Amino acid sequence: MAPRVVLVGPMGAGKSAVGALLARDLGVVLRDTDADVEAVAGRPVATVFAEDGEAAFRALERAAVVDALDGHSGVLSLGGGSVLDADTRADLVALRSPVVLLTTTWEHVRSRLGDTSTRPMLAGGAEERWRQVMSSREKHYAEVADHVVPTDGRSARQVADVVLRLLALH
């Protein structure tokens, strides 16, 4: 069993909103590894980061990705930093399911993020941190992506429609 499609990309790119639409359109379930981590930890991601540190969060995230790649046949949305793990990248490259990278820019993501206090990776200056995070992850996203879909200036519905067309071709 493998996901129908895997969505990757930075925070604020629209993975959750697009994933929900895709799941509905395809008649499958959306699974989000951040939600899986929260369910296992019994706390929000921000709290895990604050109380246990990034390394502990990444270990929980890796376990969530392994479980989802092996046991989920719907739409899978990965946390923005999941591609930092070399084993996760290798799993995604080897995956027969399409991996779709949703991209965005700070100018568009700023309004989507809202309150950044719940986003531990943006602590200490949201724009500067977002740009740093993106710079450190871009090559990893490119490594795993079968398709790249820019989301700037598009609604979640428009992005989902582009992804559906890509899935029909895959």
Per-residue pLDDT, 119: 65
Share of the chain above pLDDT 70, in %: 92
Q: What is the pLDDT of residues 111-152, one digit of tens each?
A: 766 655 666 666 667 778 888 888 999 999 999 999 999 999
| Alpha carbons 134 and 140: distance in angstroms, whole number | 10
| Model confidence band, residue 101 (pLDDT cutoffs 50, 70, 90) | very high
Helix or strand run (H / E) with residue 14: none
Q: What does the pLDDT average to over 160-168?
A: 96
> What is the reported pLDDT for 114?
62
As a whole number, mean pLDDT of residues 101-115 equals 80
> Which pLDDT score, from 0 to 100, does residue 133 have?
84
Is the pLDDT higher at 12 or at 140? 140
CA distance 59 to 124: 24
pLDDT, tens digit, 9 for 90 and up, residues 50-100: 899 989 999 999 999 999 999 999 999 999 999 999 999 999 999 999 999
Half-sphere exposure of residue 154: CA atoms within 13 angstroms, side-chain side = 21
Q: Report the pLDDT averaged over residues 8-26.
A: 94
